[in-house]
Structure formats: C-alpha cells, structure tokens
Amino acid sequence: MGKKLLRRIVTGALLGALVAFFVYAYLPKPVPVDLAAVSRGPLEVFVRDEGYTRVHDVYVVSAPVTGYLLRIGREVGDVVEADKTLIAELLPTSPGFLDKRGRTQALAAIQSAEAALNLARAERRDAEARLAFARSDARRIRALAKKNYVSQSELERAELALDSAIAAVDTAKAAERARAGDVDSARALLISPEPGSAANPEDIVTVTAPVSGRVLRLQQESERVVIAGTPLVEIGNAAELEVVVDLLSRDAVQVEPGAPVEFTSWGGEKPLTGRVRLVEPFGFTKISALGIEEQRVNVIIDFTEPRERWSRLGHGYRVDAAIRVWRGEDVLQLPTGALFRHQGEWAVFRVEGDRAERVIVKIGKNNGLQAQVLEGVGDGETLVLHPSERISDGVLIEERQQ
C-alpha cells in the first residue's frame, strides 16, 4: 500500500506541475512600452524652411550705349565708391564685313551720289552765270534810270531779277554741299573693320559706380560687343544683408511682421536671431523637387544680431529659418509620439494601473514634438509612447527597461 500511495503522490505532483506550467505559459504577458507624462509648460510653434541671404539693395550696372566693351578690371569683392570708381569702358563698334552683294550696292550708291554731285555742280555754275548776267543788266538799267531813259518799273524788275539770281546761287551751293555729303556717306559704307585701331579719347564711354559698396557679381568680364542695357556688374553694400524665405502660402498666412526667427545651419557654431520685416503680398508658383507646383510667398527677415556675428555671410548664402508663429506660457501638452488616429480622431493610450486605456483627445497647436491638449487627459497622467500594433485597449503593459 505504501508504494502505491507514493506513486500516486508523485504522479499527482507531476501532473500538477505540468498543468501549472501550461497555465503560466499561456497567461498574457505585459507588453514592454516607453512612457511619457502629460505636463504643463511653455509651447512654441514654428514654421521652418530654407532661405537665402541677399543684399538689401542690389544695383545692376548696365551698358548705357551699344559698343565694344573692354575687359572689366574689377574683381568680385572689390570696394567701389559712388561716381568715382571706374567700372567699364566702351569703344565704338567696328564696321561689319561686306559680302559681294553689299559691296556691289555700296559701289552703286557711290556712283549715284557722284552723279548727283556733278549735277549739283552744273546747276551751281548755271546759277552763277545767270547771276553775272543779272548784275550786268542791273548796272545798265540803273545807269539808264538816272538819265530817265527807262521807267521805274523796269528798274524794279532788274533789281528783282538780281535778287532772284543771288538766291538761286545760294540754293545751288547748298545743294552741292548736300550732294558732296551723300558721296562721303556712300564711300563710308566701304570702310572695312580695322582690329586693334586706337579709338579717340573723346569716343570712349566710361561707366562709373552708381553707389558705394562692393562688387557682388561680374555678369560681363571679357571683351565683347554689347548692346545698350546689357547688365555688366552687380554692386551692393554687403553690410545690409537680409534673409528671404519662400514659404508655402498656407504657412505664410500664419506669419506676422515682427515675429522672431532663429537661423541654423548657416555655418556658425551658434544659431542667429532675426525678426520678420515683411510678408510679401504677392505669391508665385514654384516647382518642387518632386515636380509639384507650389504657391510660395517670400518672407523678408532682418538680422537682430550684431553684424560681427554674421559678417562672414554674403549675398546668396543658404540658411535654415524657423519662424515662430505662436507661443503659450502655461500650456497643457503631450508628446506627439503618443498620438495615433482612431476612427478619424486623435487618441492616446493612458496608463491605468498595469493596463493601457485608449482615450480620445482633442489637440490644439502642434510643433511636431509637443502638442497642446484641449480635452481628454490631464496634467501628470502617463501615456504610452509610440504604441505598436500589440497595444490595444486594456492590454497589460510594463515600462521597458533601459
């Protein structure tokens, strides 16, 4: 009897241990999670985008006339003084080459002009001969009139004929000079280009700096023929820098003039500060890197730091700008990593004892890291961060050990 009882006891113990093992194995285990608390404190919301620096007033110096531009001796960064520093020199352009047709037309124009000049000379000689006759006739009539051999009307007709002859000579001489000018003009069409010929000093057009500052950019440097209005040099005062940030229009409407700005990734060790001066009222279309059309608005920002802090920045340098659009001092907030969508609303998992409880919350301002809580949870409550698909309403949880 003793052996049978012992066997039964051992068997029962083994069966009990086996049942206990399976019960323990299939019991739900707590899910390890990261936790965070709802808290109160200051909250700031920023609009972030890339920007670039530019000189406040950039002056583009252009060619005042069409001509041959000599090589510009200025370099980028050179200091210039208004109305004194020479920027560029322009020479008259050389005449162009004539092809066979152009040369034939030029020779024909010379022949026509010379023929017209010969005709004008003949008309001048005819006018001079008529003048000589009119003078002789007038002298004879005057002598007869003194002896009363001719009437007063005959004398007046002789004087009128003399005046007409003098005017005709003057007209013929003027016509001859005009035809001589036409010959010179026609012969000028045959002038060939003469490379390297020296220009008269009075023919050189000089261009000086319109303002004091530095050369920002050389748009033309080598010698070449330029037309009037061709940009040559850009000049500006590098000490008067501003930052331009092109924001999406939906972000730009949140920005107010005077809003504080922080600049990062500009090359210095510490961020720079600035203040919004202007939100431009005109938007423009810009194609994004993904080929999407976006409506953008330029926001102009001034530095509030001493110039010594940002003196290494120049025209067209890139910066990252964070523009503050909202700030609250005592704001109930939670980490955005605790939020998820549930049936079209924001929700969180609140820790109740050792279980997770799903709670619908109402969110206000959001800066990407922290979100303002309007309804749903209170100060000091603990939430589950980055809930995975293993987390559901009522599931057992435990804080993950670091």
Q: Is 7 a domain residue?
A: no
Residue 179 and residue 127 share a domain: yes
Range of the domain at 337: 28-42+330-399
Q: Is 22 a domain residue?
A: no
Say if residues 353 and 395 touch (Cβ distance below 8 Å): no
Say if residues 342 and 356 touch (Cβ distance below 8 Å): no
Q: Is 20 a domain residue?
A: no
Q: What is the CATH number of the domain that holds 354?
A: 2.40.420.20
Residue 363 has a pLDDT of 95
Residue 146 has a pLDDT of 84
Q: What is the DSSP string of 281-344?
A: EEEEEEE-TTS-EEEEEEEEEEE-S-HHHHTT--TT-EEEEEEEEEEEEEEEEEEGGG-EEETT
Residue 316 and residue 246 share a domain: yes
What are 32's two structure tokens?
């390890």
Q: Is 3 a domain residue?
A: no
Residue 184 and residue 246 share a domain: no
Q: Is 2 a domain residue?
A: no
Among positive and negative, which fits the CA dihedral 116, 118, 122, 127? Answer: positive
Say if residues 122 and 266 touch (Cβ distance below 8 Å): no
Q: Return the residue matching tokens 């003469």.
A: 194
Residue 79 has a pLDDT of 92
The HSE-up count of residue 41 (CA atoms within 13 Å, CB side) is: 8
Q: Is 19 a domain residue?
A: no
Residue 24 has a pLDDT of 56
The residue from 236, 261, 295 where one domain ends is: 236
Phi/psi-derived region of residue 316, left when phi > 0, alpha when psi is between -120 and 50, beta in every other case:
left
Residue 238 has a pLDDT of 82
Instruction: State the Cα–Cα distance between residues 297 and 206, nearest whole angstrom.
Output: 40
- Residues forming a β-bridge with 97: none
What are 184's two structure tokens?
């010179």
Overall pTM > 0.85: no
**Burial class, 271, CB count within 10 angstroms (exposed 0-12 / middle 13-18 / buried 19+):** middle
Residue 379 and residue 334 share a domain: yes
Residue 191 has a pLDDT of 77
Q: Is 178 a domain residue?
A: yes
Residue 74 and residue 213 share a domain: yes
Instruction: State the Cα–Cα distance between residues 295 and 352, nearest whole angstrom.
Output: 47
Q: What is the CATH number of the domain that holds 86?
A: 2.40.50.100
Domain count, the chain: 4
What is the CB neighbour count within 10 angstroms for residue 112? 13
Residue 300 and residue 271 share a domain: yes
The residue from 328, 356, 382 where one domain ends is: 328
Report the run of H or E that residue 103 belongs to, with start and end: helix 100-146
Q: In what order do the strands lie in the sheet with 231-236?
A: 58-62, 231-236, 213-218, 79-80
97 backbone dihedrals φ, ψ, rounded to 5°: -75, 145
The residue from 328, 359, 390 where one domain ends is: 328
Residue 341 and residue 307 share a domain: no
Residue 185 and residue 68 share a domain: no
Say if residues 259 and 283 touch (Cβ distance below 8 Å): no
Residue 246 and residue 324 share a domain: yes
Q: Is 348 a domain residue?
A: yes
Q: How far is CA 38 from the centre of its chain?
A: 46
The HSE-up count of residue 53 (CA atoms within 13 Å, CB side) is: 26
What is the CB neighbour count within 10 angstroms for residue 237? 16
Residue 69 and residue 82 share a domain: yes
Q: Return the residue matching tokens 């019960």.
A: 23
Instruction: Report mean pLDDT in 10-residue bins for the chain, 402 residues.
Output: 67 69 63 93 95 92 92 90 92 79 86 90 91 88 82 84 90 91 85 62 84 91 90 90 95 95 93 96 91 94 93 92 95 95 94 92 94 94 92 89 74
280 backbone dihedrals φ, ψ, rounded to 5°: -60, 140
- Residues forming a β-bridge with 90: 69, 205
Residue 104 and residue 178 share a domain: yes
Residue 177 and residue 115 share a domain: yes
- Residues forming a β-bridge with 59: 235
